[in-house]
Amino acid sequence: MSFFIVSGLSGSGKTIALQALEDAGFYCIDNLPAALLPHFANQLLNGRDALGPAAIGIDARNRAFLAHVPESLKQLQAQGIKYRIVFLDADESILVKRFKETRRKHPMTDAATPLVEAIRLEKQLLEPLAFAASLRIDTTHTTPHELRHQVQAFARGEETAGVTLLFESFGFKHGTPLDADYVFDVRCLPNPYWQPELRPYTGLEAPVIEFMQRYDEVQAMFDEIRGFLERWLPRFEREDRTYLTVAIGCTGGLHRSVYLVSQLVEHFAAKGVKTQVRHREIK
């Protein structure tokens, strides 16, 4: 039975993630003190009135409670409760912008702690949860709709065994994804951007695909990334890893990275591996 712990930086979308799980049939409790986690998990999943799949939100509003997180996770394991941690993150400048736009108060700001310092302090306090996360989502460039979809897709993926490979294309000039487990830089490959007739297209469209297929180094890059993942995917499965985010970046995130991501998704999906795809710069 699924049991999720949802955490993350204030303003990164934790409420949206919990609402997405609730809509997917999860019983959700927000802002539970970490020390109560083992008791509540046991009651929700194994008690006489067990409620089925459940998700609990934990944040940094009470700093003292966070000190109990490592011990609480150990107790969950000792009780035989299989849990997954979903951690939400975002670029500091985006979090500042979101708080200013909504005019909401960050839970850790006070007369002596300005917003930026509060964000950095919260990030430090939540690091144990971020480190242990099964799924880490960078919402810097993610809409609420996209976040809902990604969380619900992760929840559905938990119903079947094996690692889900999430392939993400991005542009380095817009920043590196914070949630990537592996980042591959493909800016060394031939660039369709310098062909004026190809600029309006993306790596999903025939003119760019045909351009990329002309070059041996493009195929070599594909083979290297494919081989690396095929070599290590079984190890991740043995370690009970459920999600692996592979980010591939070029300069703008529209041509080379998109092409390679689409090729990798096609290859691994054909082999029966669970895959998801996100083209960050294609809106």
The whole-angstrom separation of Cα 226 and Cα 56 is: 36
Domains of the chain: 3-157 (3.40.50.300), 164-279 (no CATH)
Residue 157: per-residue pLDDT: 72
Range of weakest confidence among 45-54, 71-80, 120-129: 45-54
Residue 117: per-residue pLDDT: 94
Residue 112: per-residue pLDDT: 87
Residue 47: per-residue pLDDT: 63
Residue 210: per-residue pLDDT: 98
Residue 65: band (very low, low, confident or very high) from pLDDT cuts 50, 70, 90: confident
Concatenating the DSSP letter of every residue in 82-146 gives: --EEEEEE--HHHHHHHHHHHTPPPTT-BTTB-HHHHHHHHHHHTHHHHHT-SEEEE-TT--HHH
CA separation (Å) from 26 to 22, 59, 129, 202?
5, 19, 21, 38
Better-predicted residue by pLDDT, 58 or 248? 248
Q: Which pTM value belongs to this model?
A: 0.74
**Residues 6 or more apart from 223 whose CB is under 8 A from it?**
none
Candidate ranges 108-112, 153-157, 166-170, 268-272; pick with highest mean pLDDT? 166-170
Question: What is residue 163's DSSP assignment?
Answer: P
Is the pLDDT reported for residue 159 higher than 60? no
Residue 1: per-residue pLDDT: 60
The set of long-range contacts for 92-95, using a CB threshold of 8 Å and a minimum separation of 24, is 92/116, 92/119, 92/120, 94/139, 94/140, 95/9, 95/10, 95/11, 95/12, 95/119
Residue 235: per-residue pLDDT: 87
Better-predicted residue by pLDDT, 132 or 184? 184
